[in-house]
Amino acid sequence: MSLPHALLTSILEKPSTGYELARRFDKSIAYFWHATHQQIYRELAKMELAGWISATDIAGARAGMRQYQVLAEGVSELQRWAASTSKAMPLRDELMLKLRADAAIGPLGLNGELQRLLELHSQQLANYLVIRERDFSAKTLSRAAALQLQILNGGIAFEQGRIAWLEQTLSLLEQDLAS
């Protein structure tokens, strides 16, 4: 299970309230690990109980708002987890299933769906490119920044590959309509 470790990393990067974490998740870690705010609050409560993080009330903020920070226990847990071998992530690609169904029972009119996904991935790619331009255009990067850039480049390559493949698939299906 990786969500708590994703949260640990995120809190290490910047101590935060649950709400902030949920929002920050959406804009960075969610690119490769999605979680809803309910899941995040629940997980934070568990992690606090386990002694991995602690919360402090924020002075001057509304009651109930608590900022989390990582304890030594949490750091060593993160190290332990990073050293353990994770099993191959199980792929889940619904589009592939649909194409296979299409192959099995004739044309199902997937063009629209493919087009939609093409747009989605194009947007995501544009998004990544903006981030790269904005945050990583310095000539020399720190170790941390170099790694983050490498992660981002992975996302960019993935989106580019997907877009190329979707375009190919679309033209294959259109060719099909013509005949």
Name the residues that contact DNA, by CB under 7 A: 1, 3, 17-20, 22, 34-39, 41-42, 44-45, 61-66, 90, 92
Instruction: Name the DSSP class of 140.
Output: S
Q: Are 133 and 160 in contact (CB under 8 A)?
A: no
Residue 38 touches which member of DNA, a second copy, none, C-beta under 5-8 Å by kind: DNA
Q: Any contact of residue 108 with a second copy (CB under 8 A)?
A: yes
Residue 129 touches which member of a second copy, DNA, none, C-beta under 5-8 Å by kind: none
Q: Any contact of residue 169 with a second copy (CB under 8 A)?
A: yes
Q: Which is nearer to DNA, 90 or 109 (CB)?
A: 90
Q: Which is nearer to DNA, 25 or 128 (CB)?
A: 25
Q: Are 54 and 68 in contact (CB under 8 A)?
A: yes
Q: Which of 91, 134, 137, 139 binds a second copy (CB under 8 A)?
A: 91
Q: Which is nearer to DNA, 5 or 121 (CB)?
A: 5
Q: Are 139 and 94 in contact (CB under 8 A)?
A: no
Q: Are 53 and 43 in contact (CB under 8 A)?
A: no
- How far apart (Å, rounded) are the C-alpha atoms in residues 160 and 158? 5
92 Cβ contact list (under 8 Å, min separation 6): none
- How far apart (Å, rounded) are the C-alpha atoms in residues 26 and 10? 12
- How far apart (Å, rounded) are the C-alpha atoms in residues 175 and 179? 7
Q: Any contact of residue 99 with a second copy (CB under 8 A)?
A: yes
- How far apart (Å, rounded) are the C-alpha atoms in residues 179 and 166? 20
Q: Any contact of residue 165 with a second copy (CB under 8 A)?
A: yes
List contacts with a second copy (CB under 8 A).
Answer: 2, 5-6, 8-9, 12-13, 29, 31-34, 75, 78-79, 81-83, 85-86, 88-106, 108-110, 113, 116-117, 120, 143-148, 150-151, 153-154, 157-158, 161, 164-165, 168-169, 172, 176
